[in-house]
Structure 1
Amino acid sequence: MPQVNTALGAVDTARLGRTYVHEHLFTLTADVQANYPEEWGGEDERVADAVGKLRALAAQGIRTIVDPTVVGLGRHIPRVRRIAEQVPELNIIVATGLYTYDEVPGFFRYRGPGLNDVLGTEVADPMVEMFVRDITEGIAGTGVKAGMLKCAIDRQGPTDGVVRVLRAVAAAHRRTATPITVHTHPESRNGLDARRILCDEEGIDPRRIVLGHSGDSPDCDHLAELADAGFLLGMDRFGINLDISFETRADTLVEMCRRGYAERLVLSHDAACYIDWVDPAHLHLLPQWHYLHIGEEVLPYIRERGVSEEQITTMLVDNPRRLFEGADG
């Protein structure tokens, strides 16, 4: 039976059950948290809050979440493992990779390809070995192995830094067969850039790639183009209803299912137990942005509009399982 790494060890993919493929535990600005801890509060308080929220999610029938928090988003695996040990009924799959919309962090600027012109020779990218080690040996001495690769491309497009990360993620995928999730900006249609770099140039099977945040776009023709290319589309920001309404997000999902694309869709909220990118005083503007929103509001809405239980199971159970198994879908 195929297995996937989780925060508590490898599990059979048959045990993944209902899965949200893009949920953070914590999204943090590491330097700010290290230097201004009052912005964070107490560690025990934050952990207890996360445990309560995840237990409520598990009680709703969700059995697995993928946490795509990587370098650039405040990843801290000892904390994730501490929480996972208190919510063993929920599988937590952690990720490796790097999150940037433009340049690579200073650490990498003069390591690897950044030295090619200086030394006059090809220098291996240390990102690749870092990502592979996270997957095969574990992260930061915790023994927790990553089960997902993460990269990003946003409105800035395929900058040199973004392309470097995408190529490093592709190299790590080729060595480990670990699936990939890509933060995208659908308004810029840069899922097509991800296709060119990761698939056309790097040779990655699009069926092993989730194009995150695809549900930010109501352009079903464009989404169908990406689905027809073989990608899984992340309808994964339910509850973030600022630039796009709840109804528009949900109606786009309904229309994609009506067109026969349920086998190419996965669901999530892109929520977190705590995110320091948003002032807590402003969270009232996003009252539906929490882990329970899909179960409480989205699924009833789409059922009423013709999405079948079979299609819901396909999106929540079958598609994530096939992604981790590498099976045709």
Structure 2
Amino acid sequence: MSGPPGLDLDRLREHLAQHAPGLVAGQLRAELLVGGRSNLTYAVTDGTSRWVLRRPPLGHVLATAHDMTREYRVLSALGPPGFPVPPTVLLCPDPAVLGAPFYLMAYVDGVIHRDPAELERLGPDRVRALVLALVEVLADLHALPPAEVGLADFGRPEGYNDRQVRRWKRQLDASRGRDVPGIDHLHERLAAAVPAGGAGTIVHGDFRLDNVLIGPEGGIRAVLDWEMSTLGDPLSDLALMLIYADRPMPAADGPTRPALAVPGHPDPAEIAAHYARRSGRDTSGLRWYLAFAAFKLAVILEGVHYRYVRGQTVGPGFEGIGAQVAPLVRQAHETLDGSV
């Protein structure tokens, strides 16, 4: 075997030689890209060309999660109409090659802003412009007619919010390794007040600043990490973006702080208003969506923590994930109570 954990480069090269002849010109090298907390992402090169490979984590794959075929399909559908996503290259649904399904996409040059100091160095004007551009990209995604891009059957918008509440409770139950105070009561509160939602759109499912590649001119070059995309309620994407903006960003040097604390970052009310103007949607009932987004993120992080304590994760930065779950649960309760 050659390559980083989870990626056998010899087997990958054999597969590409058979299914994408002429693609690879030399010996393959790869490195694990840090930052992801779910699917594993690798930069792969033959010395001339570069690609990115995505595959599920090494263990504890939950039902409906880490679906490479769905992620590949939505990327392939959104690229032709001009939405900023990496071009797709090849899908391999056969787990016999690398131990799990995977796909290959083109490498897109750009910067991912994960560190508050990096973001602050842009200056207040550029930070503000970047965040508002991100909101516009989200609204533009929600404006794409699913049938026109070949995604009419990509999900069931009717009853989306109700199914999401049930789904993330199942995900929580499948990742239980410790007691998380208040999380079951939070689920009960959310389930008792599910909004009907409006017309369904394509939703990303994990839309946030550090899931986009930014070019040197400040434009958004590609939206990444589509594993949870489907057809559903667009306000769920907006709410999750706001929850992420209020979470501490990991800092390489200096104190952690949320993106909202970086000078120039629009506040949640301005973000919601900008989205409403761009999309034409009513955002006045956002409170439930914000509480549910905090619950969803808590479940995601609990799943990452579950895999970490069992040695099923690869890369640095997982040791502090578990401590982030309880504050999200408290925030969701406070949001439903109207205290935040």
Both proteins in one fold, TM over 0.5: no
Structure index of larger Rg: 2
Higher helix share: 1
State TM-score, norm by structure 1. 0.29
